[in-house]
Amino acid sequence: MMDTILAKMNQALGFELRAINMYAHYAANVKGIHRMQLAPLFEQEVAESIAHANLVRAAIVKLGGICVTERDPLPIVHTNSYLEMLECSLSTEMGASQVYREVLDLVEKLGDRELYDSFESIYFSELRSVEEMRMLID
Ligand SMILES: [Fe+2]
Ligand SMILES: [Fe+2]
């Protein structure tokens, strides 16, 4: 039980570490008129992913686990197309939502309210990002 939860939390942490790299890469690369809006958006996603990673690390340590230090290996697509950047952002946020949904279902069984609330707030912020990316792509 605890091994499954820790493995799932570490998967979420790996996703966040990947998201930090991906969004930093896109913030640096986005060009043209869209840079004005998208560079700050991508930078905000970097900051949010760092904050999420910190919360997940704290939870793993609280439960006596060891945090991963490597990002999830799913390749980060290099592109100069802002639309492709947004498509990759959408699939990244959908993946994050899915993994936090799974973490939440497992954490619920632990009966730790503080831990549940902290993962629920991350889950909701991933859902908001999914909606935001959808709106931007439309
Ligand atoms: Fe996140
Ligand atoms: Fe996210």
Judged by its nearest atom, the ligand closest to the C-alpha of residue 121 is: 1
* Amino acid 1: pLDDT: 84
Judged by its nearest atom, the ligand closest to the C-alpha of residue 92 is: 2
| Domains, the chain, ordered by start | 2-137 (1.20.1260.10)
Judged by its nearest atom, the ligand closest to the C-alpha of residue 95 is: 2
User: What value does the CA radius of gyration of the chain take, rounded to a whole number of Å?
Assistant: 15
- Cβ pair 68, 14 in contact under 8 A: yes
CA of 110 to the centre of ligand 2 (A): 24
Instruction: Report if pTM > 0.85.
Output: yes
At 138, the pLDDT band (50, 70, 90 cuts) reads confident
CA distances from 138 to 73, 83, 90, 91, 135 (A): 29, 10, 12, 15, 5
CA 101 – CA 28 distance, rounded (Å)? 30
At 49, the pLDDT band (50, 70, 90 cuts) reads very high
CA of 126 to the centre of ligand 2 (A): 5
